[in-house]
Amino acid sequence: MQHARGSGFWALARCMLLFCLVLALEVHAQASRNLAPGFVARPEASRLVIVPADIELFSMSGGGVLEPRADWTAAAERHFQAALEAHQALRGGSMVRLDEKDLDELSEVNALHGAVAQSVFLHHMMGIMRLPTKNDSLDWSMGEGVQLLREKTGADYALFTWVRDSYASAERKAAMVAMAIFGVGLVGGSQIGYASLVDLKTGRVVWFNDLRRASGDLREAGNAAETVEALLRSFPPAR
Amino acid sequence: MMSRRLMLCLTLLLTGCASVVKVEGEQVVNQRLVVKVADAWNKLVTAGEGQPFEAWTQDGLMLDHLRFWAAIKPGQTLLVAPSVPVGAGRRAPQVPTFRAGMSADELVALFELVYAADGSLVTLGKLEPVRFAGEAAVRFEFAVARKSDGVQLQGVGWVAVHQGMLFASTFVAPRLAFFGRLLPKAEAVVATARIR
Amino acid sequence: MISAARDRRSALRSICGHCVGMGALLALERPSAQPAAAPAEPVLDAITLPRLARPAIDSDEGGLWALMDREEARLRRSPFVVRDAALSDYLRSIVCRLAGDHCPDVRVHVVRTPVFNASMAPNGMMQVWTGLLLRMDNEAQLATVLGHELGHYLERHSVERLRDLKSRAAFAQFLGLFGAVGSLGQLGMLAGAFAFSRDHETRADSLGIRLMQRAGYDGQQAAQVWDNLLLELQVTGGEDVGKRSPMMATHPPLASRRSALLRLAGDRSGDSGEQAYRDAMAAHRLTWLQDEVRRGQFDESLILLDRLARRAPADAGVLFARGETLRLRATGPDASRALDDLSAAAALPGVPPQAHRSLGLLHRQRGDLPAAARAFESYLSASPEAADAALIRHYLKEISP
């Protein structure tokens, strides 16, 4: 691909460098930024549906190519789901499970939520492209768009999660050390993701947290629990 | 799922090329189209060569947008297409270009191309003559199935020609909940449009 | 080391893949003095391979497989999939004729995009885009493409490609992190990175022809498919058609393809299935013709529409589409050629109402207002609930107030 060289390549390199910087800032959850105005907690008797997590794990080869790893992803999905269900903050109220195949019927609301989450991620959490009319508050709603999800599950709230993770292989780690000698910082693998809590009566996103970091490991159960912990930091309990 | 659209946004802002400003009160697009904004919107500003339209939004460009084209001259395109490498001796793919003497239906067809440029599926709906910006115009409704993430969008547009130049506006938002809720805000702005 | 063992296994697999392919090629190139009764085939043969088992989850192939499973779930939920049982059944029947024992492993998805493309993922997910269906003249030509894709699948070429990718650069990395690419412009660029090798292409061609002929199709139709596609793409000039078409990018056009395919097909006769194909596509053709016009790539569209019109001179849908394209391009003598096409369409049985609309708009552009009014009236009486009825009535009022 000859055209990858030239101005496009350097723009991309610059971009990646900045991305690394952004990643380096581990964003700590601030109560006001993660919560919609006026929302504090879920009622004790509320029902929560956990939408199947959208997870993808990659291995990064020496040359920086991402290779999808089904074994890691399958393991991560299991560990992640278990960690979610066991998480203290999610307890209280009752939980409703939704299976992957149920998503066929709910594809439109799921796709819509994906677009909403991207907007929140970009315009609210990243801190660089804020929308002035939002007044720095978490103010997004899917309105009556959540009706089908509410009816199908009978739940009051829905938790959506999304994670993309890449891990440096042994060759990659070696390459990182080698390049560091020349003063070039290579991305070694990174984890980005979000968790979003939607009130199914109003369609409002009432809580949102994102993760952007160069650490974390979803492949092992213990570490996966740590990722869930980071993702659900400040998750509003039910009381 | 994160789409290429998000990637482009991230790349734009990370290389310091884009920012968002609040727009309210009287606004002028390309020095020729004046609108009055009672309820504030957010305007995307890109440094350097951008698109031939202004893009405003309420909830973010991955969700809704309100676009304005003002004083587009014959021969100008309505969209700067994503760059596809063009080798020597080849013609670039055709991009929606405004021409003199276009009829109402041809003007609408241009916008069909604008929204189908990224491979999205566009279906035209109602077409009717109206007034826009004080001129005889056509209003058109359309649906878009977005290629990048499969989100189904609803859209409405207005296009007029004044002194041989094109003036237009489109508003697009997800058909589930968003379009119905935000349309009145968009229409409120569009109704105030005047050509200077 | 785990990675070394993996490399050994994968090396063995790709060598075996080559063996199979070579065997198939050798069988075909053996000159045959006898007529149609086929000589015995070599024992090691992709056609007679047992069904492909799901690869181990920790292998790189397993990773690709699972990614494809996820893509397939997304595809199933996409608004771009054509959900028509009759069409799906028809395509499945062709695939099963070709794939034999492998039939249960293949799932066909029709995707509404006005571009010539088909692909098959290692997990058995086959995609056929409506742009391709519009461009096929008959069942045998469709079988050419499906057979070719089955060839890649049976010999696991996609996995070999993935291994090739390890040496590519950062661009794929970034995009890989954020999921599948959506836009066609990007697809063309990226598809180049996923291109099959010359070797893969040759093997898929030969295996495809053999599958076709075993199923009773006319192998001679194969050469026609690629010729037609190249003709369309070359209208934009330049040699590198690969960058413009995802199909050509993943399947690099081989200079000798035409002669090689004809040679592979030999003298054996077979079905072309023209009528069966036409019947199966009938319900969708007008929609796909309109999708093609809507691309706004008029020069390319006219190459296609000229070819379709030559094959079916009395097809009102094709004449309407070509007339409309000429009307929109409006360069040089286009307007009068458009008039010829649209008037001809309007006089044929089965004329789509939109043809009257286009004719009316054309007459109006040319200043022939009485003719415009007549055409608009025909449109409104054929389609009174048309979405643009208000605009057309407005035009009528302007003509006769």
Any chain C CB within 8 A of the CB of A67? yes
* Per-residue DSSP letter, C258: H
pLDDT at C250: 66
Question: CA of C76: which chain B residue's CA is closest?
Answer: B150
Which CATH number applies to B4-79+96-195: 3.40.50.11740, 3.30.30.60, 3.40.1000.10, 3.90.79.10?
Answer: 3.40.1000.10
Rounded to an integer, what is the distance from CA C202 to the centroid of its chain? 19
CA C217 – CA C98 distance, rounded (Å): 10
Domain boundaries, chain B: 4-79+96-195
Give a yes or no: residue C258 inside a domain. yes
Domain boundary among C235, C265, C295: C265
Asked whether the beta carbons of residue C183 and residue B82 sit closer than 8 angstroms, the reply is: yes
Chain A residues with beta carbon closer than 8 angstroms to that of B60: 118-120, 122-123, 131
Per the structure block, which two tokens stand in for A139? Answer: 């103010």
Q: For B6, which of A3, A12, A122 is closest by C-beta distance? A: A122
CA A91 – CA A94 distance, rounded (Å): 7
Residues C165 and C293 in one domain: no
pLDDT at C335: 95
pLDDT at C376: 97
Q: Which residues does chain A have with pLDDT short of 50?
A: 1-17, 20, 23-30
Residue B157 Cα, gap to closest chain C Cα (Å): 14
CA A48 – CA A158 distance, rounded (Å): 6
Give a yes or no: residue C270 inside a domain. no
Give a yes or no: residue C276 inside a domain. no
Question: Could you report the per-residue pLDDT of C264-292, keeping only the tens digit for each?
Answer: 888 888 899 999 999 999 999 999 999 99
CA A165 – CA B181 distance, rounded (Å): 36
Mutation site, B9, B84, B95, B124, interface C, largest C CB count within 10 A = B84
Give a yes or no: residue C372 inside a domain. yes
Residues C114 and C72 in one domain: yes
For residue B68, what are the contacts with CB-CB under 8 A and spacing of at least 6? B29, B30, B33, B35, B53, B54, B56, B168, B169
Q: C153-175 in b/e burial notation, b at 16+ Cβ within 10 A? A: bbbbbbbbbbeebeebbbbbbbb
Cβ neighbours around C150 below 10 Å, total? 26
Give a yes or no: residue C353 inside a domain. yes
Any chain B CB within 8 A of the CB of A39? no
- Model ipTM? 0.87
Q: B28-43 in b/e burial notation, b at 16+ Cβ within 10 A? A: ebbebbbbebeebbbb
pLDDT at C277: 97
Per the structure block, which two tokens stand in for C327? Answer: 């009307």
Residues C256 and C114 in one domain: yes
For residue A56, what are the contacts with CB-CB under 8 A and spacing of at least 6? A68, A73, A163, A164, A165, C67, C70, C179
Asked if residues B188 and B39 have their Cβ atoms less than 8 Å apart, the reply is: yes
Residues C248 and C164 in one domain: yes
pLDDT at C120: 83
Domain boundary among C265, C296, C331: C265
Asked if residues C145 and C274 have their Cβ atoms less than 8 Å apart, the reply is: no
Asked if residues B186 and B84 have their Cβ atoms less than 8 Å apart, the reply is: no
> In chain B, which among 34-53 make CB contacts under 8 A with chain C?
none
pLDDT at C6: 38
pLDDT at A2: 34
CA C24 – CA C41 distance, rounded (Å): 8
pLDDT at A64: 65
Residues C361 and C291 in one domain: yes
pLDDT at C159: 65
pLDDT at A70: 67
CA A61 – CA C6 distance, rounded (Å): 14
pLDDT at C169: 37
CA C57 – CA C266 distance, rounded (Å): 42
Any chain C CB within 8 A of the CB of B75? no
pLDDT at B147: 84
CA C324 – CA C322 distance, rounded (Å): 5
The one-letter amino acid at B112: E
Identify the domain containing residue C353 by its residue range.
Answer: 283-399
Asked whether the beta carbons of residue C168 and residue A12 sit closer than 8 angstroms, the reply is: no
Query: What total number of domains does chain C contain?
Result: 2
Neighbours of chain C (3+ CB pairs under 8 A): A, B
Residues C35 and C75 in one domain: yes
Question: Could you report the per-residue pLDDT of B98-108, keeping only the tens digit for each?
Answer: 999 898 998 99
Asked whether the beta carbons of residue A70 and residue C169 sit closer than 8 angstroms, the reply is: no
CA C129 – CA C107 distance, rounded (Å): 14
Any chain B CB within 8 A of the CB of A66? no
Residue C35 Cα, gap to closest chain A Cα (Å): 47
Q: Which residues does chain C have with pLDDT short of 50?
A: 1-44, 166-190
The CATH number assigned to the domain holding C361 equals 1.25.40.10
Any chain A CB within 8 A of the CB of B77? no
Asked whether the beta carbons of residue C183 and residue B148 sit closer than 8 angstroms, the reply is: yes
Any chain C CB within 8 A of the CB of B144? no
Residues C145 and C290 in one domain: no
Residues C184 and C320 in one domain: no
Asked whether the beta carbons of residue A122 and residue B11 sit closer than 8 angstroms, the reply is: no
The one-letter amino acid at C375: A
Residues C321 and C288 in one domain: yes
Asked if residues B13 and A128 have their Cβ atoms less than 8 Å apart, the reply is: yes
- For chain B (196 residues), the mean pLDDT of every run of 10, in chain order, is 52 62 95 96 84 95 95 94 52 78 91 87 94 96 91 97 97 97 98 96
Residues C95 and C153 in one domain: yes
Residue C366 Cα, gap to closest chain B Cα (Å): 12
Give a yes or no: residue C275 inside a domain. no
pLDDT at C397: 94
